[in-house]
Amino acid sequence: MKQYIGTKVVNAQPMTRLAYNEFRGWQLPADENGADEGYLVEYVDGGKANTEQYAGYVSWSPKDVFERAYVEQVELDFKGRAVKERAELDAKIAPLFAFVHDSPKDVFKGLEAAEQARLRRQLEVMCEYSNILKERIANFVGVPA
């Protein structure tokens, strides 16, 4: 499998696995714990609605998985700007990373050595900048870096 990096804005609310299954009108499978904490997640950036109550695609995510992937959006003060800036930066890093590391044979390697070096350096600097923003966000909102 290939590795992917994603950035998206979602709407979410805390909800147990059992509550989500009840919301969807589903029977909780016998091998699942209904008390598992998590979030009902609505994807607003695409995906066909799968329930009448929401305009976007809705799913459930375990609490630990969700909280590692998402940070609550705050007003566009220092915290909010850092979150927004990192999301935008990471969205730009993903295709550059794929081009440098996963492009079809001879596409990246077909570039002049100097251009390959510039692209690698650009990717390195962008990733370092993303990590700095990640540290700032963790400091502002208490999320482990």
Q: Give residue-wise pLDDT tens across range 6-46.
A: 778 899 999 999 999 999 999 999 999 999 999 999 998 77
* CA count, 13 A, side-chain hemisphere, 103: 13
**Residue 86, amino acid:** R
- Cα 13 from Cα 15, distance rounded (Å): 6
Domain spans, the chain = 10-69, 78-141
Q: What is the DSSP letter of 29?
A: P
> Residues 88, 80: contact at Cβ < 8 Å?
no
- Cα 143 from Cα 134, distance rounded (Å): 9
Q: What is the pTM of this model?
A: 0.53
Q: Give residue-wise pLDDT tens across range 42-87.
A: 998 777 999 999 999 999 999 999 988 887 765 446 777 888 899 9
Better-predicted residue by pLDDT, 111 or 145 = 111
What pLDDT sits at residue 145? 45
**Residues with Cβ within 8 Å of residue 133, at least 6 apart in sequence:** 82, 85, 86, 89
